[in-house]
Structure 1
Amino acid sequence: MNVSDRHAVDLSSGLEDVPVLFTGLTLPTFQYSPDNVQGPGCTVDPSEVTVPGCSCRSHSCFTESCSCLQTHGRAYSSTGTLLELTRTDSGYCSPAFECNALCTCSDACSNRVVQRGLQLRLEVFGTRNRGWGVRTLEEIPRGTFVCEYAGEVISFGEARRRQLAQRSEENNYIIAVREHAGTGSITETFVDPAQVGNVGRFLNHSCLPNLFMLPVRAHSVIPRLALFAGRDIDAQEELTFDYSGGYTDQNPVELLSTQSESAVQASRTDGLQRKACHCGANKCTRFLPLDLSILS
């Protein structure tokens, strides 16, 4: 049975360029938003343009003349595929930077990928034992941008408060991104799509995922949490990512905390409910990460 034979609705209500199909009987309760929104404790509006732009007049930017590419490097091929698909030996990844609303290049510039939004046909469906999930209705080549993990951008204090207030049967959607820029310089971003979010909120964890997360900056200093295909993905395959941010056997994980290392370790299980992992991978760790975080 193909999708056209089933009754399906657009979960995004037309907010995405491509409909997000949903075939369940009861629509999940949340507000759909394709982009991050400002939440409690966040001092920067994610929709505000805070990154300088280039003055390129060409259809697509060239490294020789584009200030964006010269400053941050080229992240994508001419067809929009992510160029760097591997982490460094330390397990860290580097964020990608795109041209933005202040740039004078065209909207079709090859350095504009994530900001174009969802371009693939995805479907939210009910899994056998892991609640909702997302599958692709078309083949996805390795390195292709799939979707964002968008939601409310909140402060550390609000993220911690929401975690500790959760009941054991509730899902924890909060992703924490810690970016290390130089000695002792750490920028933290917390995104929670529980009440306001996009299709990314329905992605399940896997210890052997086919997607990986990469912070991407376009218009704002607040990164967009973009998910890319780590390998070629077949049509009808469920899409998953590692909630700890890893895409190898060595996954860096950090607590939602700015405390000392000893305090972090002591508080690792303080008030947080540990949930079993049902991904079914051969190398399954049996438990979901307590803290959904990635490093860059």
Structure 2
Amino acid sequence: MTTSHIPSFNHMSSSSSPTPPLIPKPEPVTDSTDLQTPIPTSSSPPNLYTEFNNVAETFRSAFAQRLKRHDDVTVLNSLTGAIVTVPEEQDPVPVSVPSPSLVTRKPKPQERSSELVRITDVGPEGERQFREVVRKTRMIYDSLRIFLILEELREDFAMGSGSSSRRRGRADSKAASMMKERFLWLNRDKRIVGSIPGVQVGDIFFFRLELCVMGLHGQTQAGIDYLIGSRSSNGEPIATSVIVSGGYEDDDDRGDVIIYTGHGGQDKLGRQAEHQKLEGGNLAMERSMYYGIEVRVVRGFKYENSVSSKVYVYDGLFRIVDSWFDVGKSGFGVFKFRLERIGGQVEMGTSVLKFAKTLKTNPLSVRPSGYISFDISNRKEKAPVYLFNDIDDDREPLYYEYLASASFPRGILFQRSGDDGAGGCDCINGCGSGCLCEMKNGGQFAYDYSGNLIRMRPVIHECGPACKCPPSCRNRVTQKGLRSSLEVFRSVETGWGVRSLDILHAGAFICEYVGVALTREQASILTMNGDTLVYPARFSSARWKAWGDLSEVFPDDYERRPPPSYPQIPPVDFAMDVSKLRNVACYISHSTDSNVIVQFVLHDHNNIMFPRVMLFAAENIPPMTELSLDYGVSDDEWSPKLAICN
């Protein structure tokens, strides 16, 4: 199925799927002493604590009595949103989604559906297609966010000094708002219960509004996302997701078990100032607990990086197993909910983040065995390259000499940067608009101010030795070398593989693909006994042609919309020999569904036939995720042992 036939989540057809009733669970026990780990109560006077318990019991009893008035249980039809009656002993029917079909209707402005949908059994191909939709949407969001930042900077430069002090909205907020106006948000007219197709456990987001764009969490401020009762078919609110970010002092996050504090009652400074009420998100959580409906959990925490000061991680599905009214640390009444992670899911992304952080500071504390080397580059790289194998005794990467930068034949590098008569740029204070190197790149720099690739190009001209700009120049990215700690590891599936111990933001520079560059004549001699060379011209990044394409955001505004820079392979006419000298990149596995892209770069010479082969992250890559590259060969041709093309 081609991408054009992948449906938007907004337009999911549901007519052929069975009707799945949501069966209420037995009324949970309200006594908090049933918790596996006791929760310390407030030190408030006993009579006040008793009063809170009595109020909580009154609330819960009222709901129980209201539901028991019916002979059958009223539930939500999670596919059509209609009210149906189902005998209590009937088991829930899972919702399976057939092969996705395209529905072209767009929602009307302000249209929001009351439908609750649970999507399951999409199959491997369906999941792959949904993943592509998510990737494309995230790419548009990030490209638009960067475009708005650069547009503001250009306006400031054009208006002269002092203009940058004007009050402006944040680019991440503007980007989300513009995509919403153009109906580019996912899951806009359906509220999905459970997993979002195409969003995987461990996925990382750098902005709160990005969660809204993806349909993972629909509230821009509140920590509980829910379908309000007035839009629900049976008049009851249902919670779909929560964000755990430490915003409430009474939260207790233990990983697989969370004691989550309800919302409400806080002042402008985030302090609890009054009692919480059983309404809004709190009521939705109670109702989801009663019906046994799972909620998605996203954790947010501070994480200093070049993009933002916070990171949000999707940690999978949790079930609400208990709720009670308690005295908070502030002395005011709060609702608490015990969430337990549903089994059978992959490891939580936050657990992996903590594990990777520990590996960088004290690796032997969590991995007492398996390390072969803590830096196979022998300090030739600015960041260490670990070597780990806990599968067998193979130590092959130690048998090669580590080369930090590609070696080119001396005769072809006569065109050094500045030797073509044009010289380098004269930007003493840093490169900006009008820079000579900017002109070489078509009038726009290829990187944003965080050093991330804005869009792919046939070749990027970085500032070089002849340029007068400082080393901190935004147009000197790849020549600064490795910035993230990488690990070469032994894998059952791919032989040797590579993963990062840091978060890699989409567009982040990873490393250079290094070996000994050979001319066509040199390569022909070495291949007489069999071809064991890497050919950079074969590397494929065709899946990322749309990087930076904003045509869906600016369909009629061609002046504001930068045209997509489709990567045309320059006349690259060399091979790379990695049989004796190589670097960490040579162990990256092959995949046609890769998360790493190739970008040709020139900075120390101007011979376009021999560019440097630079690798960038094609998406937000969480730590400990295996990196993959499309070498432009079939799976049968790939040799994981030598990481070379046959």
Fold shared, TM-score > 0.5 on shorter chain: yes
State the one-letter code of the partner of 1:238: E
SS at match of 1:44: helix
Correspondent of 2:600 among 200, 212, 215: 215
Correspondent of 1:205 among 590, 600, 625: 590
Q: 2: distance between equivalents of 1:13 and 1:204?
A: 23
1:146 equivalenced with 2:510 (yes/no): yes
Residue by residue, what CA displacement relative to the aligned partner does 1:69-94 show, whole Å, maximum 9, x if unpaired?
12223111111111114xxxxxxx51
State the one-letter code of the partner of 2:400: F
SS at match of 2:522: helix
1:84 equivalenced with 2:455 (yes/no): yes
State the one-letter code of the partner of 1:21: Y
Verify the 8 A CA contact 1:37 1:45 in the aligned structure 2: no
Compared with structure 1, are the counterparts of its residues 20 and 109 closer, same or farther at alpha carbon in structure 2 (3 Å cutoff)?
same
Report the structure, 1 or 2, having the larger strand content: 1
Deviation at 1:102, TM superposition (A): 1.1
Structure 1 stretches of 5 or more lacking a match?
86-92, 179-184, 246-252, 254-273, 279-287, 292-296
Q: 2: distance between equivalents of 1:18 and 1:157?
A: 36
State the one-letter code of the partner of 1:199: V
Correspondent of 2:438 among 42, 48, 69: 69
1:175 equivalenced with 2:535 (yes/no): yes
State the one-letter code of the partner of 1:44: I
Deviation at 1:47, TM superposition (A): 11
Deviation at 1:132, TM superposition (A): 1.1
What residue in structure 1 maps to residue 573 of structure 2? Answer: 188
SS at match of 1:102: coil
- Following TM superposition, the consecutive aligned residue runs of length 4 or more in structure 1 with deviations greater than 4 angstroms are 45-51, 288-291
Q: 1: distance between equivalents of 2:631 and 2:377?
A: 23
Percent identity over the alignment is 27
Verify the 8 A CA contact 1:12 1:20 in the aligned structure 2: yes
Deviation at 1:186, TM superposition (A): 3.4
1:224 equivalenced with 2:612 (yes/no): yes
What residue in structure 2 maps to residue 14 of structure 1? Answer: 379
What residue in structure 2 maps to residue 43 of structure 1? Answer: 411
What residue in structure 1 maps to residue 520 of structure 2? Answer: 156
Q: CA RMSD in A?
A: 3.0
Residue by residue, what CA displacement relative to the aligned partner does 1:148-176 show, whole Å, maximum 9, x if unpaired?
10111101133234344248xxxx45123
What residue in structure 1 maps to residue 129 of structure 2? Answer: none
Please identify the structure whose Cα radius of gyration is greater.
Answer: 2
SS at match of 2:526: helix
Verify the 8 A CA contact 1:175 1:192 in the aligned structure 2: no
1:132 equivalenced with 2:501 (yes/no): no
Q: 1: distance between equivalents of 2:440 and 2:521?
A: 33
State the one-letter code of the partner of 2:407: V
What residue in structure 1 maps to residue 487 of structure 2? Answer: 123
Aligned runs of 1:229-268 on 2, under 5 Å? 229-244=617-632
Deviation at 1:49, TM superposition (A): 4.8
What residue in structure 1 maps to residue 462 of structure 2? Answer: 98
SS at match of 1:191: strand
Verify the 8 A CA contact 1:133 1:203 in the aligned structure 2: yes
Q: 2: distance between equivalents of 1:47 and 1:10?
A: 34
* Larger RCO, structure (CA 8 Å, separation 6 or more): 1
State the one-letter code of the partner of 2:637: K
State the one-letter code of the partner of 1:149: Y
